[in-house]
């Protein structure tokens, strides 16, 4: 079959399963925080591939790692280990509370591993009754059947038949709702250290510390899903570091590969021993190509310059968005932490976040939504300040069009 057919948005409808409704814009190349589409229109990227492209597009450190490893070895399977996986694991352990690492390909897979580990740990240590998993309404943990059931948005988990059992949901930032559910039958509490999909909701210090204490009192594991918050997004290497609370298991993906698919589950030696040989696995997890890129991404992000830069750039965003709002009065609040920012639409614009995204795209800036009424920003952690300023100017034009 020749390649002589138009590769355009209409082709998507012909050949792709219809579970996505992508933009008509098809980007073909990127550099830093800018991308260009098929017609050579330039866009500023405030979306970051949904908090994935932590170093923007085609960052030299990542390109070099990919090229170098691409000429050495790509895949071995887990019958053998490999140098990039060992190096990346050593650096993750050295930079966090963790002592052991399990590699996967995505956030959902990392969360799946965390949940299976928690259940296996509880069975081995406490017996067959300790199976309850507590998670949070509006939480998001991935799209496998187990993780989507643990996620707190029924719209994503309904309609596929019977769900995995013994999963219950408390209210985020409501400690009493956790107290009502938790008992010695609880094996784990799973939470995001800042809810992403659920609306860019930061936890109060009292809540997150209270959850940790409740887990300790009930011999339950605390699992932090840091798929979106990890690898510098909030201004610390991992979000837990800014909360003075340490989880028992942490999951990481998205930014860990800077755009190359990789995920990891981090935990202690004592808990890790329950995933003994044969209990869980992944064909591609820990493959040399992904781990080489992941190592380059981690090395580049895990510096005081980049992490402090995240906090400085966050201030530019918040000030800029507040200035736009002073003119057009469309947002109720600007919230979030670091470079995970949510602009919450006020009552006049409820349910219209997608309109803002579409209008912004027409002005040459890519944004995200978090639910129907929040515009979400998750740009590169090293986006140049002038790109923030220019992108916000374009975003202001979009806001002006909608507000008029």
* Alpha-carbon torsion (89, 95, 98, 99), positive or negative: positive
* pLDDT at residue number 53: 98
What would the mean pLDDT of 337-366 be, rounded to a whole number?
A: 97
Give binding residues as ranges.
107-108, 140, 143, 225-228, 282-283
**CATH number for the segment(s) 9-58+304-403:** 3.90.1150.10
Mean pLDDT of the chain: 97
User: What are the boundaries of each domain within the chain?
Assistant: 9-58+304-403, 73-301
What would the mean pLDDT of 146-155 be, rounded to a whole number?
A: 95
CA 59 from chain center: how many Å?
20
Give binding residues for N(2)-acetyl-L-ornithine as ranges.
143, 282
Active site (annotated) includes residue 13: no
Give binding residues for pyridoxal 5'-phosphate as ranges.
107-108, 140, 225-228, 283
Query: Which residue is catalytic, options 225, 248, 377, 395?
Result: 225
pLDDT level of residue 1 (50, 70, 90 thresholds) = low
Active site (annotated) includes residue 14: no
Domain 73-301 fold is 3.40.640
Asked if pLDDT for residue 144 goes beyond 70, the answer is: yes
* pLDDT at residue number 4: 86
* pLDDT at residue number 2: 74
* pLDDT at residue number 3: 80
Query: Which residue is catalytic, options 45, 46, 248, 254?
Result: 254
Active site (annotated) includes residue 276: no
Do domains 9-58+304-403 and 73-301 share one topology? The answer is no
Asked if pLDDT for residue 76 goes beyond 90, the answer is: yes
Query: Which residue is catalytic, options 140, 260, 356, 395?
Result: 140
Contact assessment for residue 160 and residue 215, using Cβ atoms and an 8 Å cutoff = no
The predicted model scores a pTM of 0.96
CA pair distance 379, 385, nearest whole angstrom:
11
Tell me the CA distances in angstroms from 162 to 74, 140, 165, 169, one per residue in order: 38, 19, 8, 17
pLDDT above 90 coverage of the chain, percent: 98
Asked if pLDDT for residue 78 goes beyond 70, the answer is: yes
Q: Looking at the chain, how many residues does it have?
A: 404
Residue matched to tokens 């204490």: 213
Written as six digits, the tokens of 126 are: 């406490």
pLDDT tens-place string over residues 270-322: 999 999 999 999 999 999 999 999 999 999 999 999 999 999 999 999 999 99
Asked if pLDDT for residue 220 goes beyond 70, the answer is: yes
CA 385 from chain center: how many Å?
23
pLDDT tens-place string over residues 91-142: 999 999 999 999 999 999 999 999 999 999 999 999 999 999 999 999 999 9
pLDDT tens-place string over residues 310-327: 999 999 999 999 999 999
What would the mean pLDDT of 155-182 be, rounded to a whole number?
A: 97
Which residues are within 8 A (CB) of 107 and not within 5 positions of it... i.e. 6 or more apart? 141, 142, 225, 227, 228, 251, 252, 253, 254, 263
């Amino acid at each position: 079959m020749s390649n002589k057919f138009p590769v355009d948005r209409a082709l998507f409808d012909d050949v792709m399963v219809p579970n996505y409704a992508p933009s008509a814009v098809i980007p073909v190349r990127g550099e830093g925080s800018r991308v260009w589409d098929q017609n050579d229109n330039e866009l500023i990227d405030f979306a970051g591939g949904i908090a994935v492209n932590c170093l923007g597009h085609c960052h030299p450190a990542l390109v070099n790692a990919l090229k170098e490893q691409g000429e050495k070895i790509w895949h071995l399977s887990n019958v053998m280990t490999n140098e990039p996986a060992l190096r990346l694991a050593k650096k993750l352990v050295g930079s966090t509370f963790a002592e052991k690492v399990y590699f996967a390909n995505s956030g959902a897979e990392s969360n799946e591993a965390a949940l299976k580990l928690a259940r296996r740990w509880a069975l081995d240590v406490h017996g067959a009754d300790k199976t309850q998993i507590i998670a949070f309404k509006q939480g998001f943990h991935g799209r496998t059947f187990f993780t989507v059931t643990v996620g707190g948005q029924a719209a994503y988990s309904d309609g596929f038949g019977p769900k995995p059992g013994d999963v219950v949901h408390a209210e985020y930032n409501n400690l009493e709702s956790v107290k009502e559910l938790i008992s010695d039958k609880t094996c784990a509490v799973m939470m995001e250290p800042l809810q992403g999909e659920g609306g860019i909701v930061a936890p109060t210090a009292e809540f997150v510390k209270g959850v940790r204490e409740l887990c300790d009192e009930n011999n339950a594991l605390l699992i932090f899903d840091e798929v979106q918050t990890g690898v510098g997004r909030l201004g610390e290497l991992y979000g837990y570091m800014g909360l003075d609370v340490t989880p028992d298991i942490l999951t990481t993906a998205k930014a860990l590969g800077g755009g190359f698919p990789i995920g990891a589950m981090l935990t202690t030696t004592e808990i890790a021993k329950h995933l003994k040989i044969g209990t869980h696995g992944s064909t591609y997890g820990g493959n040399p190509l992904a781990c080489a890129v992941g190592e380059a991404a981690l090395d580049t992000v895990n510096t005081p310059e980049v992490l402090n830069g995240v906090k400085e750039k966050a201030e530019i965003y918040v000030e800029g968005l507040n200035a736009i709002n002073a003119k057009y009065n469309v947002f109720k609040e600007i919230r979030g932490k670091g470079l995970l920012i949510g602009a919450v639409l006020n009552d006049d614009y409820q349910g219209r976040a997608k309109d803002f995204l579409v209008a912004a795209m027409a002005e040459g800036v890519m944004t995200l939504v978090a639910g129907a009424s929040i515009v979400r920003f998750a740009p590169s952690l090293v986006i140049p300040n002038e790109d923030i300023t220019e992108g916000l100017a374009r975003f202001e034009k979009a806001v002006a069009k909608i507000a008029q």
